Structure 1
Amino acid sequence: MDHLDHLVYATPELGRTVEELTGRGIALSPGGPHPGLGTRNHLAALGDHAFLEVIGPDPDQPEPATPRPFGIDELIAPRLVTWAIQVPDLDLALERARAAGHEPGDAVPMSRRRPDGVLLSWRLAFPPDNQGGLIPFVIGWGDTPHPSRGAATGTRLVSLRGEHPDPGRLGLVFAALDTELEVTEAAEPALVAELATVSGTVVLR
């Protein structure tokens, strides 16, 4: 199974959401801005080299030329929008997924600078249709230090599951990505994470 890399919790108001999550027991550390995208993030380590990314508009950047990622511009409340799996060889992983019948999207290079000045560079691929966030995007960090190493500790991922009107249709996609996710039937797609924190259990969806 390809390794869970991180969960993406998107919000229209980053400062307020970081304050709210901190109050619920999730310690977060500043990640940094995404130049040109109009966003920045805060991170929490989840154990097993995975992390929670809380991402929202960056007030210190001008309005981006294109919509912010993860549908942030349309959000009216924070939401667990998707998840990512980490692969050692991104190009090979994308090739294998296509051969198995899943279009994972094209690889895109990205970077951001940490508050301590270290430049992180990575490549990722977003699927054209992620089925309401249940189909993960694929990421490769190369030689860059993994963000989970410097993220705030004290939070642990207990479980990750999905809800979807037709869970059966997602099975072949997960197989093509060499990953898995428990998905139960529900009226609307949703990603649900249960986290253990110093203040107790927190559920994000």
Structure 2
Amino acid sequence: MTDSAKLDHIVVAAADLDAGVAWVEQRLGQALPAAGGKHPLMGTHNRLMRLGQASFLEVIAPDPDAPRPAHPRWFGLDNPPATPRLAHWLVRWPGLPALPAVNGPAIRQRRGDLSWLITVPEDGALPHGGVFPSFLDWEMDEAAIPPRAMPSKGFELTALRLRHPDAPQLARDLAPILQDPRVSWHAAEEVALSATLTGPEGAITL
């Protein structure tokens, strides 16, 4: 196991960003911060909220004002879910060594002055239906990573449950990279993710 890999963020995918934001806000019981922006290379846009000290929640959808990219969008967003859902999660891993083949190559993304590396399968699909994480490298000191500066509503990620028919093997594949007591694997016929966020009024589930 590497001590440098950490859970970076969870991803709610939607066909429409406003619908995705509304889905999250209904569960939080309050409005999301206005933070977010566009990803020109991928034709997507997002909204962001910090969770705890150094993780965050991302709501992401295709950007109707952006040209459709010549390559597949990330997070399976060429075919977004009919209704918003918790679809994926990401681990930050400085240097991105020895990447699992299922994750595809690391590509560079830019937004404003920010630049980072992130794994994206060549077909844009979610690794193992979304339960196996993608990996990113912010290419900066841990104390300066972007999540630390994001606006917060007082929520923390306290549990991430991952369901997959091959959950035991996926857990073994990830174990040398990440050990996080909040993350649990469960064998199940259907692929699904759920997360518990604990906030000012108690716990909610996405």
Q: Same fold (TM over 0.5)?
A: yes
Q: For structure 1, list consecutive stretches of 5 or more residues without a partner in the other structure.
A: 114-118
Q: Name the SS for the 2:20 alignment partner.
A: helix
With structure 1 as the length reference, what TM-score do the two structures score? 0.82
The answer as to whether partners of 1:51 and 1:147 remain within 8 angstroms in 2 is no
* Alignment match, 1:116: none
State the partner residue of 2:146.
147
Moved more, 26-35 or 38-47: 26-35
| 1:159 and 1:193 in contact (8 A); partners too | yes
C-alpha displacement of 1:123: 0.3
Cα distance in structure 1, aligned partners of 2:47 and 2:200? 18
Contact 1:39 1:57 in 2 (8 A): yes
Q: Which amino acid aligns with 1:123?
A: L
Letter in 1 for 2:130: G
Q: Please state whether the residue corresponding to 1:131 is helix, strand or coil.
A: helix
Cα offset, 1:121, TM superposition = 0.5
Hey, what does 1:45 align to over in structure 2? 50
The residue aligned with 1:105 is: 104
Provide the residue aligned with 1:195 in structure 2.
197
Distance (whole Å) between structure 1 residues aligned to residue 176 and residue 121 of structure 2? 12
8 Å CA contact 2:118–2:135 kept in 1: the answer is yes
The residue number in structure 1 matching 2:130 is: 133
Name the residue aligned to 1:57: 62
What SS does the aligned partner of 1:132 have? helix
Number of residue pairs matched?
Answer: 192
| Distance in 1 separating the partners of 2:64 and 2:146 | 22
After superposition, what is the alpha-carbon deviation per residue over 1:65-114, rounded to whole angstroms, capped at 9, x for unaligned? 23322122322111211111112222xx2x2x56xxx654222111113x
Question: Bigger CA drift: 178-187 or 163-172?
Answer: 178-187
Moved over 6 A (4+): none
* Identity within the alignment, %: 36
Query: How big is the shift at 1:156?
Result: 1.4
What is aligned with 2:89? 83
- CA change 1:39–1:64 in 2 (3 A) is same
| Cα separation, 2, equivalents of 1:9 and 1:110 | 19
Cα distance between partner residues in 1 of 2:179 and 2:78: 30
Runs (5+) with no aligned partner, structure 2: none
**How far apart are the structure 2 equivalents of 1:127 and 1:59?**
23
For the residues of structure 2 that align with 1:163 and 1:78, how far apart are their CA atoms?
18
Q: Which residue of 2 aligns with 1:5?
A: 8
TM-score, normalization: structure 2?
A: 0.82
Shift of 1:26: 5.5
| Rounded Cα–Cα distance in structure 1 between residues aligned with 2:14 and 2:201 | 22
**Any idea what SS the aligned residue of 1:25 has?**
coil
SS state at 2:128 partner: coil
In 1, Cα distance between equivalents of 2:104 and 2:177: 12
Structure 1: distance between partners of 2:129 and 2:42: 21
Shift of 1:157: 0.9
Deviation at residue 199 of structure 1 after TM alignment? 4.6
Alpha-carbon offset, residue 39 of structure 1: 0.5
